[in-house]
Structures are given as structure tokens and as C-alpha cells.
Amino acid sequence: MHGGVDFSESIVLDDERLQALSRLNPLAPLHQPHNLSGVRAAQRAFPQALQVACFDTAFHRSHPFVNDTYALPRELYDQGVRRYGFHGLSYEYVVDRLKQIAPLHEQGRVLVMHLGNGASMCAIRDGQSVGSSMGFTALDGLPMGTRCGQLDPGVVLYLLKEKGMTPDQIGDLLYLRSGLKGLSGLSQDMRELEAARTPESMQAIDYFVFRIRRELGSMAAILSGLDAVVFCGGIGENAWRIRERACQGFEWLGLELDELRNRSGETVISSDRSRARVFVIKTNEEMTIARHTARLLASAST
């Protein structure tokens, strides 16, 4: 999940690197400890096998400084308190897929929306990440299934000081009881929320769409315009209503969907008039991991 500052590409694991990755557990508590536990179990079962780590943060190590930092004392940045970004394995796959189906667009200004139980957006220029909605942890940016997304840090101070909550209680709140589930009081599953149509479920969806649209404008500013937009992830690939609402009213930005293409989930869902092409691409993070592992295995055997 998390490669921190030091790991900007896939690596072969050894004991020293495993220890280094264990120190990053607090930055990705829902993923990192379990990923490493699986590696150690595999090492015991297959002691001669090559163990490879592929990082969700690596794709974003090309970020410019302004998208890599917070306005905190510089020594904290030097100690690793910075914006890492996540879903990098998904974004890498999407870029590779665009090279095959739309090579000219892949070389331009691309906004990819990975929308699922975890959700983020990434601004990509010439195949390189230049902006991400996620930051120091996978809590930042868009609201998600059970994660809060963007939050005033003063809320955390308030919960600590005024509500007497412990760090563990706040972590549980922000990671597991917020987002679509917390807002709706019902579920983190977009299909269930759309079917329920309760006032609370509709408000949860409204907020999800609002944050997507707000981030879309921000990413377009980072890129100075858009040549392509890609929807991926469970919601991005399947929820045509979310795609429709996310893009509605962005004609001024050169973005216009074709209603029938969008509802049928075609690969290209933009209208013929749209200056920016809009794609639906089924992401495949496992394929990205497999390619990196095959490459490292080939290198180790030569």
C-alpha cells in the first residue's frame, strides 16, 4: 500500500525492507499491516519464492513540490509528513490502457477518477501524476464508502479536546464510520443508496457528487484544461447516474456526455461535440502488480 518517501518503484523484499515498510503502518492502517502479514505468511510457506512489493503511492512520486507538501514547518516535510497520494496501481493501469486505445489523449492532460469504496482523483500530464486528491493518508480528498474524505483538521482537535475521544476512537470514526455510510446511516454501497432513496441516502449521494465536481474543477486548474477524463473503479465503471451528474454543466470546460453511450457504459461516453473525450475503463490493479512482479522476477533470474 504505502512506500513512503524511499520506495518510488516496485521492489524485491528482504528483512530490512520489510522492517522499513512496517514503520509505515500508521500511514495506512487499513492495508499496510495486513499486506505485510500476508508477505510473512508467504515467506514461511514458500521460503525460496521471490516476494515483491508494488506500491499504491509510487505512481505519485512525480508530484511537483506544491502538490507534495503541506504548509507546515519544513522539518516535518523532511521527516515524511507530505502528500503521497494513493490508487497509483490503478492509475498506472489506466495510463497503460489509454496508450493502447487513445495514444494521443494519453500524452495530454488527463483526469482519472477512481471511484469506489475507496475514491480519489488524479491529474496526469504526459503520463505522469501531477496532482492527487489523496494526501498523507488515504483519508483525504473525496468522501468514500466509510472514510470521511477532506476534513478541517480543527474537527480532530475538537473531538480530542471537547468530546474526549481517544486517537483510536477518532481513527475508527474517520476510517470506518464516516463517508457514504456515515452520511446515509444506511450503507456504503452506492447500489443500495440509489435503491433506498431515503432523504439521508440522497444527501449522501449529493455530497459525493458535489465533492467530485469540486475536485474536477481543481484538477482541471492544475492541468490548465482537459483533453480526457476517465472513470474507473466500482462506482466509476458502473454507476451511470454518478457519471452523468459529475459531468453535468461542465460544457464550458469542453466536457459533454452522450446520454445513451453513458447509460450503456460504452468505453467512450462523451458526445461527438465534446472537446475532451470521456472514457470508462475497467481498471485492473492486479495486472499492474503482475507486470511489475514478472519484470523483477526476470531481472532476478538473469
Name the E strands within the chain: 11-12, 52-53, 109-115, 119-125, 128-132, 228-232, 277-280
How confident is the model over 26-53, as a mean pLDDT? 92
Task: Calculate mean pLDDT across residues 208-216.
Answer: 98
* CB 28, CB 137: distance < 8 Å: yes
pLDDT band at 102 (very low <50, low <70, confident <90, very high): very high
CA distance 295 to 289: 10
Nine cell digits for residue 143: 468522501
**Tens of pLDDT along 111-166?**
999 999 999 999 999 999 999 999 999 999 999 999 999 999 999 999 999 999 99
Closest CA to 263 of 240, 294, 245: 240
pLDDT digits (tens, 9 = 90+) for 276-299: 999 999 999 999 999 999 999 999
Share of the chain above pLDDT 70, in %: 100
- Please provide the average confidence, as pLDDT, over all residues in the chain: 96
- Report residue 82's pLDDT band, with 50, 70 and 90 as the boundaries: very high
Per-residue pLDDT tens digits for 224-258: 999 999 999 999 999 999 999 999 999 999 999 99
The catalytically annotated residue of 14, 15, 56, 272 is 56
Q: How far apart are CA 61 and CA 85, in angstroms?
A: 9
With 0-12 / 13-18 / 19 or more C-beta atoms within 10 angstroms meaning exposed / middle / buried, residue 30 is middle
As a whole number, mean pLDDT of residues 186-206 equals: 98
Cell numbers representing residue 121 in the block: 482523483
Which among 2, 133, 13, 114 is positioned nearest to 58, based on CA atoms?
Answer: 2
The alpha carbon of residue 89 and the mean position of all alpha carbons in its chain are separated, in whole angstroms, by 9
Specify whether the CB–CB gap between 54 and 10 falls below 8 A: yes
Dihedral angle of Cα 206, 210, 213, 219, to the nearest 10 degrees: -140
Burial class (CB in 10 A: 0-12, 13-18, 19+), 14: exposed
At 12 the pLDDT is 95
How many C-beta atoms lie closer than 10 Å to residue 170's C-beta?
Answer: 15
Say whether pTM exceeds 0.75: yes
301 has a pLDDT exceeding 90: no
Answer whether residue 79 shows pLDDT above 80: yes
Task: Report pLDDT for 243.
Answer: 98
How many residues would you count in the chain? 302
State pLDDT tens for residues 157-178. 999 999 999 999 999 999 999 9
Residue type, 73: P
pLDDT at 41: 95
Q: How confident is the model at residue 28 (pLDDT cuts 50, 70, 90)?
A: confident
Q: 251-262, pLDDT tens digit by residue?
A: 999 999 999 999
| Domains within the chain, CATH numbers bracketed | 1-55 (no CATH), 64-289 (3.30.420.40)
Give yes or no: 56 in active site: yes
Is residue 89 within 8 A of residue 59, CB to CB? The reply is yes
The pLDDT value recorded for residue 289 is 96
302 has a pLDDT exceeding 80? no
- C-alpha–C-alpha distance, residues 288 and 22, integer Å: 23
For position 8, what pLDDT does the model report?
Answer: 92
291, 89 in Cβ contact below 8 A? no
Question: Which residue, chain included where needed, has cell 505519485?
Answer: 60
